[in-house]
Structure 1
Amino acid sequence: MALPFLQDLYEATHEVVHLVVMDEGKALYIERLMSRPEVQVQSRVARRLPLHAAGSGKVLLAYSPPELVEQVIAAGLPKQASRTITDSNVLRRELAGIRTTGYGVSRDEMTDGASSVAAPVRGADGEVIAAISVVLPSGSRDLQALVPAVSLAAAGISRGMRPFMMP
């Protein structure tokens, strides 16, 4: 169901596009579209990565119950790249910002040289069930310019998910 929206987002940006869900306290990548070899990403379909270190993971974490956020923090916030958030208070502020704006931005947090814009995908009850992101080379463009496209794709997937959700 999500694939047409992801393909449209890919065609609009020609950047790496991800669909991510939470699984076992990690960000589980369930789809990845890419063609630019110059963007190095850690993601692979079926790979789990730390929630705190990627745009889509932070979006999932931002909308998680506070207990889960505290579990992730208590487990440690290992550095993945030069700008990974490793301070729990900074992470809490970042998550609050994501809840306020409805999207997340990261630069050099999972991989040096890669930045992302991510937005939540919601189920019928409004609960965040996934996140999508666009990953591009750091410094190559204004990340804010991608927010409308990523948010629109996430909203389209969210609308499409409603018929499949149980009442």
Structure 2
Amino acid sequence: MNEPGKPRGRRPIVGEPVLDRAFRLLTAFGADDAQLSLTALSVKTGIPISSVLRLCKKLADLGMLERTGEGTYVIGLKLLEVASLAPRGHGLRAVAMPFMEDLHKATNHHVLLAVRDHDEAVLVERLSAHEAGRIMYRIGGRVPLHSTSVGLVLLAYADPELKEEILNRKLMLEPEGQDLPSGELRARVAMVRQQGFSVVSRPLPEPATSVAAPIFDRGQQIVGAMSVLGPMGVMEPRVVIPALVAVARAVSRAVASGSTGPNVSSG
């Protein structure tokens, strides 16, 4: 006999709220799974297909999902509408965008804006250049703190407790598949705090260099990080860093003036 709360076959956890199951369905979608069938959703979430069908119909009625002509499901526009109200994402993006556009035109490289969400970063905006090379992360995608320039900046200025918790983890560089020693990460974080910016170069998916600088609020709490990314050997950090730091400071002044509206402090 199964213990209370334990999964029984493919049935959902006993007493699992409908809202939790609906959230699991929505988060089953991703960059490589933007369109999913009922069967695929059932397999990915462990929710019985009959329940998946019922939940998907309701979510589609609410505009959270949309049903395609092939009978599969995609994320609905209602979620985009709701997400656009997030002050830490689109609020910061709104005030930063004019500055990002100037930086993008001046450098002709990718310009990224990210915020921290617990122990990861979320990319909230990206301006791309045709000749700036491939980029690993999409808008709305999650970015590791320990191995990206925006991540290192957000980690360097994070709460001491969270910083120590991450620094004590066993971490790996992706997609290189290499271990990242704690001592090396500590040195990188300390350097970011000392210099006020980060520089990261990596060979995969193709050789690229990225530099990032912090954005602060009125209380000098970090609310985001902005970076410039381009092909290694083409994008010169010593040339880009002064402009990036100046732009990040300009955005910080705009944030401090209250241009973003509701609180945009990091999570």
What TM-score do the two structures reach when normalised by structure 2?
A: 0.58
Please, which runs of 5 or more residues in structure 1 have no aligned partner? none
Structure 1 CA distance for aligned equivalents of residues 98 and 178 of structure 2: 31
Q: Could you list the runs of 5+ residues in structure 2 that have no partner in the other structure?
A: 1-94
Q: Match for residue 13 of structure 1?
A: 107
1:2-151 equivalences in 2 (<5 Å): 2-36=96-130, 39-82=133-176, 86-108=180-202, 111-151=205-245
The CA distance in 1 between the partners of 2:256 and 2:250, in whole Å, is 10
Equivalent position to 2:253, from 159, 164, 167: 159
- String of CA shifts for 1:52-95, please: whole Å, max 9, x gaps: 11001100001112221222234431221449771111111111
Deviation for aligned residue 1:38: 5.2
2:169, 2:182 within 8 Å by CA — same for their partners in 1?
Answer: no
Identity %: 33
Find the aligned partners of 2:149 and 2:128 in 1 and give their Cα distance: 17
Q: Which has the larger radius of gyration?
A: 2
The number of residue pairs the alignment matches comes to 166
- Does the 8 Å contact 2:119/2:166 carry over to 1? yes
Q: Which has the higher contact order (CA 8 A, sep 6+)?
A: 1
Q: Which moved more, 1:91-100 or 1:108-117?
A: 108-117
Amino acid at match of 1:146: V
Give me the TM-score of the superposition, normalised by structure 1: 0.91
- In angstroms, what is the RMSD of aligned CA positions? 2.0
Q: Is the 8 A contact 2:108 2:132 kept in 1?
A: no
- Counterpart of 2:55 in structure 1 is none
